[in-house]
Amino acid sequence: MERTLVIIKPEAVRKKLVGKIISIYEDNRLEIIHAHRVLATSDVLKLHYQDLITKPFFEELVSYMSSSECVVLILEGEHVVETVRKINGATDPGKADPGTIRYMYGETLQVNAVHGSESVEKADLEIEIWRDLIRYEKGSKR
């Protein structure tokens, strides 16, 4: 079954939006198969955002993402990668469709409430990158 990695970003955790955000995924019939609250390390974030390493905002992004704890979720379901990206909305909350998580809870282009993997391949890679930090057991079918 397809899986994806979601991060409820630090400001959304600080604002106590974890329950509301998880409910949105569940209301869309997606299954939360793992959840872990953790302070992200810069090593993991640099791997997670490796494609953005040349961007001028890269260092700021890593420091924002490790500014306080985030909640990392693994979701499972048919077409879960694409479904989560739709539910999350456009990267820039100002351009996100009404009803999306980023429209409702995002603040800025950077501080935008949630992350969702962009492809099935990226999801598998991100799950491996985060696996130890979020204690998601290797070999677990879930």
Of 56-64, 72-80, 97-105, 114-122: span binding Mg ion (CB under 5 A): 114-122
DSSP structure class, residue 1 = -
CA distance 56 to 101: 26
Q: Report the residue from 115, 123, 126, 129 that binds ligand IDP according to the rule CB under 6 A.
A: 115
Place of tokens 């993402």: 65
User: What binding mask, one character per residue, do residues 3-42 give for ligand IDP by CB under 6 A, x or -?
Assistant: ----------------------------------------
109 makes contact with ligand IDP (CB under 6 A): yes
118 makes contact with Mg ion (CB under 5 A): yes
CA distance 30 to 80: 7
Q: What is the DSSP string of 51-67?
A: GGTTSTTHHHHHHHHTS
- Catalytically active residues, by annotation: 115
Q: How far is the CB of 42 from ligand IDP (least distance, A)?
A: 15
β-strand pairing of 70-76 with 31-38: antiparallel
Of 53-61, 95-103, 111-119, 127-135: span binding Mg ion (CB under 5 A): 111-119
Overall residue count recorded for the chain in this entry: 142
Question: Is the separation of the CB atoms in 58 and 73 below 8 Å?
Answer: no
91 makes contact with ligand IDP (CB under 6 A): yes
Name the residues that contact ligand IDP, by CB under 6 A: 52, 57, 61, 91, 109-110, 112, 115, 118
